[in-house]
Amino acid sequence: SLLPQKRAGVLLMPTKGILSQNFGLTTFAIKGGYKGKAHNGIDVAAPIGTPIYAAEDGVVVKTGNQDLYCRKGAYGRFIVISHNNNLVTLYGHLSSVNVRDEQMVQRGDFIGYVGKSGYATGPHLHLTVYSKPTFYMGQSRSCGAMPYGGYLNPLEYL
């Protein structure tokens, strides 16, 4: 009951592109790169340099570049935004981050560019939506700052 009702338009689609990997137990997740674990978001394929926009009003919780710790692993350059509606969004594999930690953003504000940093087979935006009551930033064993928590299907809110 703490989360917004699942419906289109709760969140803005953060970039233009083609859905290249769905949420959950996708073929790639099962047979490829995730060792049988579910894909915790969606991937939107787009050319490097395609603008990315904040999905909703909020505050930037964390930005980072995991390639500094585990090159070609995890999310690469990423942004995490906490929203007033009890959702948290993660934007991964960016080529450039154009916001800073603790910055306030509005729905539709420019925040960065699509890239292929981290563990990416091609240029795309990885978008994960978390339940804010379960979300936290922790330290991974090898990739530095890492988002954790109960993730939700982004397509239920876009």
What is the predicted pLDDT for the residue at 122? 96
Whether the per-residue pLDDT at 33 is higher than 80: the answer is: no
DSSP 101: T
Please give the average per-residue pLDDT across 145-157, as a whole number. 96
Please give the average per-residue pLDDT across 14-33, as a whole number. 87
Structure tokens at 41: 């978001």
The closest of 115, 127, 98 to 46, measured between CA atoms, is 115
Structure tokens at 111: 């925040």
Q: Which DSSP string do the residues of 43-90 spell out, in sequence order?
A: EEE--TT-EEE-SSSEEEEEEEEGGGTSTT-TTSEEEEEEETTSEEEE
Helix or strand run (H / E) with residue 127: strand 124-131
**Could you read off the pLDDT of 110-137 as tens digits, one per residue?**
999 999 999 999 999 999 999 999 999 9
Pair type for strands 42-45 and 124-131: antiparallel
Please give the average per-residue pLDDT across 146-154, as a whole number. 96
Whether the per-residue pLDDT at 39 is higher than 80: the answer is: yes
For residue 36, what pLDDT band results from cuts at 50, 70 and 90?
A: low
Kindly report the pTM of this predicted structure: 0.95
CB 129 within 8 A of CB 83: no
For residue 30, what pLDDT band results from cuts at 50, 70 and 90?
A: confident
**Could you read off the pLDDT of 69-105 as tens digits, one per residue?**
998 889 999 999 999 999 999 999 999 999 999 999 9
What is the predicted pLDDT for the residue at 37? 81
d(CA 94, CA 125): 7
CB 30 within 8 A of CB 36: yes
